[in-house]
Structure 1
Amino acid sequence: MVKRPCERLGTVLTRYLLTVSVRQQALRLWEREQPGEAERLALRGATGRYYRLVRRYRCSTSKFGIGQVAGSNCTPLGWHRIARKIGGGWPVGTVFKSRQPVGFTWKGMPGAAIATRILWLEGLEPGFNRGGDVDTFRRYIYIHGTGDEPTLGRPASHGCIHLAADDLIPLYERLPVGTLVWIGEW
């Protein structure tokens, strides 16, 4: 499942893999391991390695459903990678506007749409989530914190993937730019 898309898209397997289930409103962190390790996902890499489930997180995807087109406010499907990381070193709850800290923290205020850290996604599938009016990166689709954490576990965003600050910060610190991300309907 991972090797073929990587070959087709001209990218390489990464140490970590994020998967996002729109139906389950869950984000999973996987790490490459040798065969025989616990909780293997049936994802074979080019070297015969497997991905091992590290952790499952509650998330929120779009309240408008799934879709690729700019202006739809939908969560895009398919293969992506983390293109940029924004917010390292800022206090937990820092509010961002246009990817810049605005000088205050959300402290539980639901109006803080983008908070704590940003993992900016780039689509890898030309014509599906990359290029033209379906370009995930130009749609500003992120994995980011939210000021409305009680909505986690149900669709609530305008296309992005929301996580709790306590979950996002360790992911931000662990995952390098280039980490593969699969967003699916299951």
Structure 2
Amino acid sequence: MQSLNPVRIEISIQTQSLSVYQSNKPIVQYPISSAAKGVGQQKNSNQTPVGRHLIRAKIGDDQPMNAVFVGRRPTGEIYRPELAQTFPQRDWILSRILWLSGCERGLNRLGQVDSMQRYIYIHGTPDSEPMGLPCSHGCIRMRNEDVIALFDQVSVGTAVDIKP
């Protein structure tokens, strides 16, 4: 697939959606799931940070759909319900990871509010997890097919605005 090189990504917590814009025109929208505990910047809050971010790293381009990641590294496992029963407490990070870095000092960058140090990602999640409802531990969850499509459309440095 040819890269679209979007100007920016906008994530709306209110509508639980992620939109890709090119030349200030929306070109695609995906349902997402943000944090169950709402929005917030503090380290260990399990909340989704708001404000201007950028994609710091893209991880998993050579992995199959439903590949399992722990610590940003593929485990070699492929997610399936039986695996979920074996590890019921895991926060499943699947298929692809877009690691976010905050751009606004004191809001989402540095100190106790640093999105990158909080390991805030856009990532795939099991198909059994709902979209359109806040259910994550702070990250932005997407359907696996959607996060793979998004991954192929963006590059490191793409702007990401997370709006309450």
Listed as ranges, the gaps of 5+ residues in structure 2 are none
Q: Structure 2 residue aligned with 1:155, among 134, 141, 149?
A: 134
The one-character-per-residue Cα deviations of 1:102-145 (angstroms, maximum 9, x if unpaired) are 11111354856100000000000001100000000000000000
Partner of 1:36: none
Instruction: Name the % identity.
Output: 41
Q: Would you say 1:86 and 2:59 are equivalent positions?
A: yes
SS across alignment from 1:178: coil
Match of 1:122 in 2: 101
Aligned to 2:48: 75
Instruction: Please report how far the alpha carbon of residue 150 of structure 1 lies from its aligned counterpart in structure 2 after TM superposition.
Output: 3.5
- Alignment partners' CA distance in 1, 2:114 and 2:108: 5
CA distance in structure 2 between the aligned counterparts of 1:54 and 1:154, rounded to whole angstroms:
23
CA distance in 1, matches of 2:103, 2:127: 30
**Structure 1 length normalisation: TM-score?**
0.79
Do residues 28 (structure 1) and 19 (structure 2) align?
Answer: yes
CA distance in 2, matches of 1:80, 1:92: 26
Residues of 1 paired with 2:26 and 2:128: CA distance? 24
Structure 1 stretches of at least 4 aligned residues deviating more than 6 Å after TM superposition: none
Q: Which residue matches 1:46?
A: none
2:115 to 136, 146, 151: 136
Measured in 1, the distance between the counterparts of 2:134 and 2:18 equals 13
Aligned partner of 1:97: which letter? Answer: V
Q: Does the 8 A contact of 1:115 with 1:145 survive in 2?
A: yes
1:27 is paired with a residue whose SS is strand
Q: 1:60 aligned to 33, 41, 49, which one?
A: 33
Which residue does 2:8 correspond to in 1?
Answer: 17
SS in structure 1 of the partner of residue 151 of structure 2 = helix
Secondary structure of the equivalent of 2:57?
strand
Which position in structure 1 is the counterpart of 2:74? Answer: 101
Structure 2 Cα separation of the partners of residues 89 and 76 of structure 1:
28
TM-score normalized with structure 2 length: 0.89
Tell me how far apart the structure 1 counterparts of residues 79 and 63 of structure 2 sit (CA, whole Å): 13
What secondary structure, in the 3-state scheme, does the structure 2 residue paired with 1:151 have? coil
**Residue 157 of structure 2 corresponds to which residue in structure 1?**
178
Counterpart of 2:11, as a letter, is V
Does the aligned pair in 1 maintain the 2:127–2:144 contact within 8 Å?
A: no
